[in-house]
A and B are shown apart, each in its own frame.
Chain A
């Protein structure tokens, strides 16, 4: 006998289910089941994974949902009466599945999509009833299970006989015939309590009385009994109450019996219930038979019911196409040739055309023409919006994409292989990713919804799972531990999976102190820490909630919402319950529209350049651009000064000089400490070098030591080696080292003659062990047949095997290298506008303050906040007077000041300029604390000077503080109306009595850090200078002059912390600090980590001892041996102990904004 579980929550029931779909499916199959249901709470979050798991385990999938039903008598929008399970019937061409999707979307329709909304995910009974019949055939397509958590089940407690009957009757009256069954569950709790056999008996009798079929389930939450404690912790996380609190209410499940019990156990359970009811063997048989009969009704055929693996794209008419789509695509490609390859002829034309025919042939055979047209349509739409957009990813390998303007990389020029993107052997919809300006991303989404219609578009979602920090916090809360204590522990957890917590305790120096406390438990009887570790491990990776995917948009035809349930996203636009893993199985076309801040920053810079230099001549002069063919400057600069970045030639020598200098902070992809080290060593000379650089700087190549041999060959320190002369054309561009996927494909092709499509299949197969064996056999056999020696075959196979999984797609590299080059070009020629763009859009990995320090290093004046000159964005400004007169500086923005609201900001900007404080108060109506903040930041200094006041900033702040204390709640006008119209200057400011000492530089910087997270007046390390001198610290700008291996002390504020995967699997920690003269990149190997311990992740200001490592002609870094917390002077290694006595105030004292200032929330 087999048993079908019809009520099963998977881990995708966030904060409820414990087990993954494949665990459940495998367990069910092992027990002899032939079908298994997935009924996640509130949605189909785990359904597609369930389908996959069932198909792999040889089970028929059953799909359903566990939904809350609103109380008909209560407040209609918020009061939930109970929960029911709804199953879709199968083998009806999707009628059941369609109804289920729509039903779930209904349940979410009134929610806000924001956390903590007042409206629960729930349906009215009428809504539920209306979906149970197919609108066309009026046959039942959904079955509702009234079980222990329904209003009926919840009314079983106590001695109330009438209430459950009345409620059950209401269901029967409301629902169409044949759509309701009674769900009998006993989790063997104490007699009379919920989920007890006694309650199951009552439900069974109720069903009997009303002639409603009864079915048996176990309301499964975990695969095996072992999952019960995890379920308890999830209950705690969901309800935000500790386990002791929950137990006393009592809100925890009464027992730990909710696992996927075996068929035998379910039969015993059925027997027990039937016996307790006083029924006989025939009744038991009926219960079990009815369960299986319902299961049979609900078996789903993935293909005919859910459209499994059948790609769906928007209808041709929506794309504005009247002819056959493929014909349309061919015509558009032909039209693109003249634009992309002007004047092409001869052999070049012939090879281009044959490549085009090759691609079009594959696209036609796969039936993907409409897909390309859809992407082209979206891409065109974005560009028409005037938004910067560029395809990234393997889509850049396609000539078709280049010709229809989806991508801007010429695949022929960079030797990119179409088969890496799409081939005959790969029938899944390919990924085309489009990068757009981040600031415009939401507008682009809205436009796509408008363009295609909201019935054809939805956002993709993503699952957010527990990682170590969240897991330890929720485990701690479950145990009722002190928030502060758990928070301290969570802080030390840095980038490892929660599953390995106990292991990490043994290994990680920063956890040593905590590990000690765990071991102490016997001594002081505290078991909690040990349990905390176990529970944290249990939570690892479990889904917590879904959210809008950062870039995925799903496009379909008018039936899209029959195929995926949707719910509101935080953005207001609907979001699918499916994530990226569900797209391909469900045949969904997903477009990645990525918001790239660098694109916004560059667009901003280009606009600033025009604003400051409104003509071609001025731009050419300011940027020191070449005179061009006719002496009027290059063609990519328009007469009005607009620079077409995409048209800038990729061979600008000054740009490569800047890159080689390693002063690449702010440049796309090459600003990280590791990248600066790599470009220092590599010294790029041309665009292809950038492609290689970006492709090398990946975990795989770094880990497997591809970089060193590459550099040695590149610089001619070692001769290039090729395994066989035949491979020289394939590997020459990377000096014999395999870097790109494209090279792997060609190597396969050259040595086996397998063709590039097959080669890409092989490359994919290499990522799994089973796949690898088959590929190896083929490769060895074919290569041998082609006459390659055993030696060569061995050697090449080793390379293929180890590099195939992580080599980088050259098309990706090429697509990335374009913005890398463009950003470096802007930094070289228009640094002020570029930095203003970076400050405005904050695209990089570093805290903004480091880029301010970079401006200071470049000698670009940073202009203070000014109530009349500062705007809502950073602006380049020509300096009118003073020592910097004539130079370009960057004026700070009023945006991003702590406490200042968007409305206040708008009013300030709208009212500029202001003559006086009174004028500002009257017209901008900003709050008193904000006026005081602006004063602290010096925004009134120039107004104050103009008024002829003799007091200083401290006096002004003091004055405002007095007003704030005395003035009550009234905002705005404090002076007589008449005064405003008189050009008297600012009487208020003029009359402030000077009495206080002017604020020190340290105080000003502290205010800046506190309110803007940026040190403007001077570098925040400057006040430490005397201390650092006494310590004998070397500054960043002096390091390059030192010999390799010199021991030094360096000090600065943390700006980057990274733990990239490294060769041999041992963790290496990179910490970069900024000391005002530049960045020092230090690396902590194992021993140094041991010594530094908690300082590694816990401090903002660091003193580091280490030895210099020269990394290239212009690069130097530090191999650290020890670190200190600079703010704890008593611990510092002063050569002269007497020196430590003098303590100075520091800007960071008392400031808690660590993340914004150091880029690290340690």
Chain B
């Protein structure tokens, strides 16, 4: 398992669930029901203000654990043979920005 914090672009369903994402120039589709939870932020170190009425998202951020497969790029579908990647994404509630936090299944890749 690797730990990162890298910006990613995520497309969500109307209910707010991630559907697909773009990371490192490649597109991926979410291929299984994602899991969602919240994790604490070190807000006292990361933020410079926390006035009353700031709203949600100071204390925690949203974490989504998604399984993704590379999006089929046009005609050739090598898709079926690939195993899904498990990623933890964080969504900063106030800015809506997504970052990639962790990549699981670190056993898998390396050959390509």
Contacts and interface: CB of A to CB of B under 8 A. Distances in A.
Contact of B51 (A232, A250, A527, A534): A534
Contacts of A229: 43, 50, 54, 58-59
B60 interface: yes
A254 B41 CA distance: 10
Interface string A147-190: 00000000000000000000000000000000000000001111
A257 B38 contact: yes
Given A229-B50, A247-B42, A479-B44, A257 B35 contact: no
Contacts of B37: 188-191, 196-197, 255
A190 B53 contact: no
A538 B58 CA distance: 14
Contacts of A189: 37-39
Contacts of A225: 55-57
Contacts of B57: 225, 256
B59 A188 contact: no
Given A225-B55, A226-B56, A256-B60, A534 B39 contact: no
Nearest to A257: B38
B49 interface: yes
Contacts of A257: 38, 60
Contact of A252 (B40, B47, B55): B40
B39 A478 contact: no
Contacts of A480: 44
Contact of A255 (B38, B43, B52): B38
B49 A530 contact: yes
A1015 interface: no
B60 A226 contact: no
Contacts of B87: none
B95 interface: no
Contacts of B51: 534, 537
B48 interface: yes
B65 to A, nearest CB: 9
A197 B38 CA distance: 11
A197 B35 CA distance: 11
A538 B38 contact: no
Given A255-B40, A256-B38, A228 B59 contact: yes
Interface in A227-285: 228-229, 232, 243-244, 247, 250, 252-257
Contacts, number: 86
B36 interface: yes
Interface residues of A, number: 34
Contacts of A530: 48-49
A792 interface: no
B45 interface: yes
Contacts of A537: 51-52
A531 interface: yes
A521 B56 CA distance: 25
B52 A538 contact: yes
A1082 B17 CA distance: 67
A189 B39 CA distance: 6
A535 interface: yes
A255 B38 CA distance: 6
Contacts of B59: 228-229, 232, 255-256
Contacts of A250: 40
B63 interface: yes
Contacts of B35: 191
Nearest to B59: A256
A254 B44 CA distance: 15
B58 to A, nearest CB: 5
Contacts of A521: 48
A414 B51 CA distance: 53
A844 B53 CA distance: 43
B47 A527 contact: yes
A232 B39 CA distance: 14
Contacts of A531: 44, 47-50
A196 B63 CA distance: 13
Interface string A531-547: 10011011000000000
B58 A527 contact: no
A244 B38 CA distance: 19
Contacts of B38: 187-190, 254-257
A196 B55 CA distance: 22
Nearest to B15: A268
A247 B44 CA distance: 11
A225 B52 CA distance: 11
A244 to B, nearest CB: 7
A226 B48 contact: no
Interface in B15-45: 35-40, 42-45
Contacts of A190: 37-39, 63
Contacts of B53: 226
Interface string A281-292: 000000000000
Nearest to A268: B15
A256 B44 CA distance: 14
Nearest to B63: A190
Contacts of B39: 189-190, 254-255
A197 B36 CA distance: 10
A225 B59 CA distance: 9
A478 B55 CA distance: 20
A524 to B, nearest CB: 13
B51 to A, nearest CB: 5
B64 to A, nearest CB: 12
Given A243-B44, A531-B44, A188 B36 contact: yes
Of the listed residues B38, B53, B55, B63, the one surrounded by the most CB atoms of chain A closer than 10 A to its CB is B38
Contacts of B56: 224-226, 228, 256
A18 to B, nearest CB: 11
B31 to A, nearest CB: 19
A226 B52 contact: yes
Nearest to A528: B44
A47 to B, nearest CB: 26
Contacts of A538: 50, 52
B55 A535 contact: no
Interface string A186-214: 01111100001100000000000000000
Nearest to B51: A534
Given A228-B60, A256-B58, A534 B40 contact: no
A994 to B, nearest CB: 64
A577 B23 CA distance: 58
B48 A254 contact: no
Nearest to A186: B37
Interface in A708-731: none
B96 to A, nearest CB: 15
B50 A534 contact: yes
A244 B45 contact: yes
Nearest to A197: B37
A71 B37 CA distance: 32
Nearest to B45: A244
A226 B55 contact: yes
Contacts of A253: 40
Interface string B92-104: 0000000000000
Contacts of B43: 229, 232
A817 B4 CA distance: 75
Contacts of A187: 38
Query: Which of B36, B40, B43, B59 gathers most chain A CB within 10 Å?
Result: B59
A188 B59 CA distance: 13
A250 B39 CA distance: 12
Given A187-B38, A229-B43, A535-B50, 8 more contacts: A189-B39, A190-B63, A191-B37, A226-B55, A228-B56, A229-B59, A534-B50, A534-B51
29 contacts: A187-B38, A190-B38, A190-B39, A190-B63, A191-B35, A196-B37, A224-B56, A225-B56, A225-B57, A226-B55, A229-B43, A229-B58, A229-B59, A252-B40, A253-B40, A254-B38, A255-B38, A255-B39, A255-B40, A256-B40, A256-B56, A256-B58, A256-B60, A257-B38, A478-B44, A480-B44, A527-B47, A527-B48, A534-B51
- For the complex of A and B, the 4 pairs showing the least CB-CB separation, nearest first, are A256-B59, A225-B56, A527-B48, A228-B59
